[in-house]
Amino acid sequence: MIRTDWTVTEAASIHALPFPELMHRAQTLHRAHFDPTAIETASLLSIKTGGCPEDCGYCSQSAQYDTGVKATKLMGAQEVIAAAKRAKDAGAQRFCMGAAWRSPKDRDMDKLTDMVRGVADLGLETCMTLGMLSPDQVIKLKDAGLDFYNHNIDTSPEYYAEIASTRTMEDRLETVEHVRKGGIKVCCGGILGMGEAEADRISMLVTLATLPSHPDSVPVNLWNAVKGVPVQDKSEKVDPFALVRLVALARILMPASVVRLSAGRTGMSDELQSLCFLAGANSIFVGNQLLTTENPATWKDNDLLRRLGMHVAAAKPAFRSVEVAAQ
């Protein structure tokens, strides 16, 4: 049963279960909704890096901090499509395109929709993260064939003001609702290790699990150290078992959502990643780099899946009519 009426008290009780019981519950639900041996794979490309006006205290791409990241212009569609082809050849089933914006300008929408169409024509699932969207922008991306839109809430409502002031949790959730109502699948998760308490991590998941519909994909990120940003001073390394418990809780609260191990895997052992898969994580980013951070080499991921007897799930790109595809 899919529930959207979870309480923080319920979630905290589940989170505190003895580890074997927590893992059993998570794995049982995981098997009821997914092939437990299948892992989805996605590749991430920064199509416009740096220069973002937001003050998110964890982000290397904010123009408000001196992080050494140089701002770039929006890439051309053909350059992005060529990168997507390389990602597909390397084993990705979904191609995610990220731009460091507060929100995209209307003048950029034609180029963005050309990217979506071109990547979809390769047979890849498509995903974008561009900041906040208006309903009209959602419609344009949907008409182009965009499968997923990523817009993380980052942390709990209670802790959000500690990491950003130029937008609110309500702003984040408004875009998530625009995307959901527009018929694009929602990718929405958060970041661990920014100085938040255990209660904040649980509250973050409950926020996602009590949306009108659960996110289709829930990324779980470990914060990567970034010099020059405020979070650097308050960050704390996440205990490995705390990560596994959060993944298991995400699986129990949102049993039909894909749970992705996102940023931070370079610091995870094979054994920790395997425990996360057992707890219900069933997606990873592949390729040597995410937006501005490193990611495990492709051969390492392939070797891990081989040793575990697991495999990459098949891509399921959105259907586009002949008329749309021919435009």
pLDDT tens by residue, the chain, 327 residues: 899 999 999 999 999 999 999 999 999 999 999 999 999 988 889 999 888 888 888 888 888 888 888 889 999 999 999 999 988 888 888 999 999 998 999 999 999 999 999 999 999 999 999 999 999 999 999 999 999 999 999 999 999 999 999 999 999 999 999 999 999 999 999 999 999 999 999 999 999 999 999 999 999 999 888 888 988 888 889 999 999 999 999 999 999 999 999 888 888 999 999 999 999 999 998 866 565 566 778 888 889 999 999 998 876 665 453 344 433
Give the integer Cα–Cα distance in Å for 244 and 281: 9
User: Is residue 224 in some structural domain?
Assistant: yes
What pLDDT is recorded for position 69? 85
User: Is residue 324 in some structural domain?
Assistant: no
Give start and end residues of each alpha helix (H) in the chain: 8-15, 19-33, 77-89, 109-120, 135-144, 169-181, 198-209, 240-253, 270-279, 298-308, 322-326
- pTM of the predicted model, to two decimals? 0.91
Distance of CA 261 to CAs 128, 163, 248, Å? 18, 22, 12
Burial class (CB in 10 A: 0-12, 13-18, 19+), 23: buried
What pLDDT is recorded for position 172? 93
Burial class (CB in 10 A: 0-12, 13-18, 19+), 314: exposed
What pLDDT is recorded for position 289? 55
User: Is residue 245 in some structural domain?
Assistant: yes
User: Is residue 93 in some structural domain?
Assistant: yes
User: Is residue 1 in some structural domain?
Assistant: no
| Domain, as residue range, for 197 | 8-317
> Which pair of tokens denotes residue 227?
């010099």
CATH number of the domain within which 112 lies:
3.20.20.70
List the catalytic residues.
52, 56, 59, 96, 127, 187, 260
What pLDDT is recorded for position 145? 94
User: Is residue 219 in some structural domain?
Assistant: yes
User: Is residue 288 in some structural domain?
Assistant: yes
> Which pair of tokens denotes residue 174?
């408004």
What pLDDT is recorded for position 266? 86
CB 84 within 8 A of CB 286: no
> Which pair of tokens denotes residue 26?
């998570």
User: How many domains does the chain divide into?
Assistant: 1
User: Is residue 327 in some structural domain?
Assistant: no
Give the integer Cα–Cα distance in Å for 185 and 11: 25
Give the integer Cα–Cα distance in Å for 108 and 45: 17
